[in-house]
Structure 1
Amino acid sequence: MRIVHQTSARTTFSLTNTNDLEGHEQLVCVFDSDTGVFKGVVIGILIGALRTGAIGEVAIKAMARMEAEQVAVIGTGLQARTQLEAAVASRNIKRINVYSRNQENRTMFAQEMTKKLNVNISVSGSAEDCVEEADIVICATNSGVPVIETNWLRPGTHVNTVGPKSVTRHEVPTELAARSSVIATDSIEQLRAYTTPHFLVGTTHENRITQLSDIVTKKVSGRTSDNDITLFCSVGLAGTEVVVANEIMKAIQ
């Protein structure tokens, strides 16, 4: 897949292997749009996690309660790390719980991210224990079945889901959409274009899905009550990785 993004000073493009082959890498190149001079290249999956984290931060800022203090993280991979960084950057977070199926992974995650974020992270013994008191829940797994249950969430909770969301494999339950006052995504067009349909497409909730940008710009209402449960379904807005690459090049000059 080739994506081009141009600003007044930079042109960048992203090349991603769209075949299901092991070991593929993402390549994002940056050129000066006026002179054609090559400025740099970003290789690897980190930029994807950074851009998804950045979008997650926008979602939390726009949708979570201002008073949110406690975060629950389900998952311990790279995406879980950048989403947690987004939450800490967005709100005055005082408590963090983490859970994953692998005890060694969740212990290591807690140790590493406590040191990085300077916020104490507790390891939970179950997903339910992890989320039951949370103000913000981050689901960042590769699970094909729901990793949380809707009735575990207390009123006012915001959920970011960045893992599988197809009709055949989804990490959050469909019932969560029914209980959510606001459902948003970074690209409704992409959400509806999946080869295997998104788990909310074709349901009564599809027409309730709001573009995150419309909430940010106040074209539509987001959260209207501190008791609202809100849901953000991240699809990884196409082209955002090239914007991040462009900003990286500007920062290191």
Structure 2
Amino acid sequence: MSIPDIAFFDRTYVRRHLGHSACIGAVRSAMRALSAGRTRQLLRTMLSLGERRTFALMPGALAEDDFFGAKLISVFPNRDDPGRRAHRGLVVLFEPEEGHPVCIADAEEVTLIRTAAATAVATDALARADATRLTIFGTGAQAAEHVRALALVRSIERVVLWGRDETKAQKLAASLAAETGLDITVELDGERAAAQADIICTVSGAAQPILHGRWVRPGTHINLVGSSGPGPVEVDDDLVAVGRFVADSRASVLAQGAEFLVAKAAGRVDDSHVVAEIGEVLSGAVVGRQSAQEITVYKSLGHAVQDLAAVALLYRQRLQQSETQTGGASS
């Protein structure tokens, strides 16, 4: 095998070519494989670089004879929005035959799209089939991505945005409404925002609970996305305890799932409260939603295999395009 050129996918390329629909399919396959033990990954390693500054390494392999690699990412305060932290870095992909690096991709853009795709996969598996009302707690980039992705797995008729900055929330609502054609409104009262929802996504990065269990109607599905490590929590112990709790990875949630760990420390739940990984639900090994009235909760931490699956999708598309162009030139 000749040494391949290393492809570079910058954020513009990723945004243009990593479609939500295809990414949902790639992440769905990766999560099935993760729960079946066909993928390999380590818990993320996080190195503190000072207050609110972190460098993280996430290695993994899609399968023994498939692409492998790692995500290297910095999590630093965002200068444009001091209340948030920005995720910046690279995903490096290696081929499995001789171990050559073949691709480097912008991790920030990949993370934006694949995180929402993973939430869409979980929502498709756990939300009621007739769910049409979506509430998003948060007004950052992930809020917009989640509206786009979830509209692909449910017939969303109405979206409610909750945020602490009304001006920012109204601006995002207007932009998304114009883009998607959906009915999108802003609600600054968290209880009213939750009461209107069939599906709730928390993507705020809040340090303290912004969503409480007593606010959530029976039959709601909730995606906990904003907190990606021990420490900050977006929901209270009541919500964790009341829901049928599904993890993206059981080992990761037991070690790093902030909301679960806080509820466990308070004596509200134990490890058995994590009833399944989403891959087990997808494969049919464990039942997801058991009734129309049940509250389901999905805890998303994000995993290397999701990032690698998304970048491998981009790389395979690039290879196919090159082969098509080569074939056309020689015919």
Cα offset for 1:52?
1.4
Shift of 1:47: 1.0
Residue type of the partner of 2:255?
A: A
The aligned residue for residue 241 of structure 1 is 307
Q: Which residue in 2 is equivalent to 1:98?
A: 161
15 and 72 in structure 1: CA distance in 2 versus 1, 3 angstrom threshold: closer
Whether the 8 Å CA contact 2:198–2:220 is kept in 1: the answer is yes
Could you say which residue in structure 2 is the equivalent of 1:214? Answer: 280
Q: 2: CA distance between counterparts of 1:24 and 1:208?
A: 30
* Aligned counterpart in structure 2 of residue 72 of structure 1, from 125, 135, 140: 135
Structure 1: gaps spanning 5 or more residues? none
TM-score normalized with structure 1 length: 0.87
Are 2:142 and 1:86 aligned?
Answer: no
The question of 1:50 aligning with 2:113 is answered yes
- 3-state SS of 1:26 partner: strand
Distance 1:108 1:25 in 2: 25
Please give the alpha-carbon distance, in whole angstroms, between the structure 2 residues aligned to 1:24 and 1:160. Answer: 20
Output one character per residue of 1:118-150: Cα deviation in whole Å (capped at 9) or x when no partner.
212111132222221210011111111111122
| Whole-Å separation in 1 of the counterparts to 2:183 and 2:229 | 34
Between 13-22 and 122-131, report the one with greater CA deviation.
Answer: 13-22
Q: Work out the CA distance in 2 between the residues paired with 1:195 and 1:85.
A: 25
The residue aligned with 1:11 is 67
Residues 1:158 and 2:221 aligned together: yes
Give the gaps of 5 or more residues in structure 2. Answer: 1-56, 79-85, 322-331
- 1:192, 1:201 within 8 Å by CA — same for their partners in 2? no
Give matches, 1:17-56, under 5 Å.
17=73, 25-34=88-97, 39-56=102-119
Which protein has the bigger helix share? Answer: 2
Matches within 5 A, 1:215-234: 215-234=281-300
**Larger-Rg structure:** 2
Q: CA deviation at 1:192?
A: 2.1
RMSD over aligned Cα atoms: 2.7
More deviation, 88-97/199-208: 199-208
Q: 1:35 to 1:177 in 2, by over 3 A?
A: closer
Contact 2:199–2:222 (CA under 8 A) maintained in structure 1: yes
Are positions 1:184 and 2:242 aligned together? no
Opposite residue 246 of structure 2, the aligned amino acid is A
Q: Deviations over 1:181-235 (max 9, x none)?
A: x100101111222397833445424312121111111211211111111111111
Aligned length: 252
Aligned match of 1:138: 201
> Contact 2:136–2:160 (CA<8 Å) still a contact in 1?
yes
Offset of residue 74 of structure 1: 0.6
- Tell me by how many angstroms 1:83 deviates: 2.2
Deviation for aligned residue 1:176: 0.6
Describe the SS at the equivalent of 1:251: helix
Percent of counterpart pairs with the same letter?
Answer: 23
CA gap 1:97/1:19 in 2 versus in 1, 3 angstroms: closer
How far the C-alpha of 1:248 sits from its partner, in A, is 1.7
Q: Distance in 1 between matches of 2:241 and 2:164?
A: 27
Paired residue secondary structure (1:145): coil
Q: Are residues 87 and 170 of structure 1, via their aligned partners in 2, closer, same or farther at CA, if it must alter by over 3 Å?
A: same
* 1:41-79 deviation digits (Å, cap 9, x = unpaired): 212412112221121111101110000000001101122
Residues 201, 245 of structure 1: CA spacing in aligned structure 2 closer, same or farther, 3 A cutoff?
A: farther
Q: Secondary structure at the match of 1:79?
A: helix
| Structure-1 separation of matches of 2:195 and 2:87 | 38
| Alignment check: 8 A CA contact 1:27 1:42 kept | yes
3-state SS of paired residue (1:58): helix
Residue 243 to residue 195, structure 1, CA distance change in 2 (3 Å): closer
Asked whether 1:194 is paired with 2:256, we answer yes
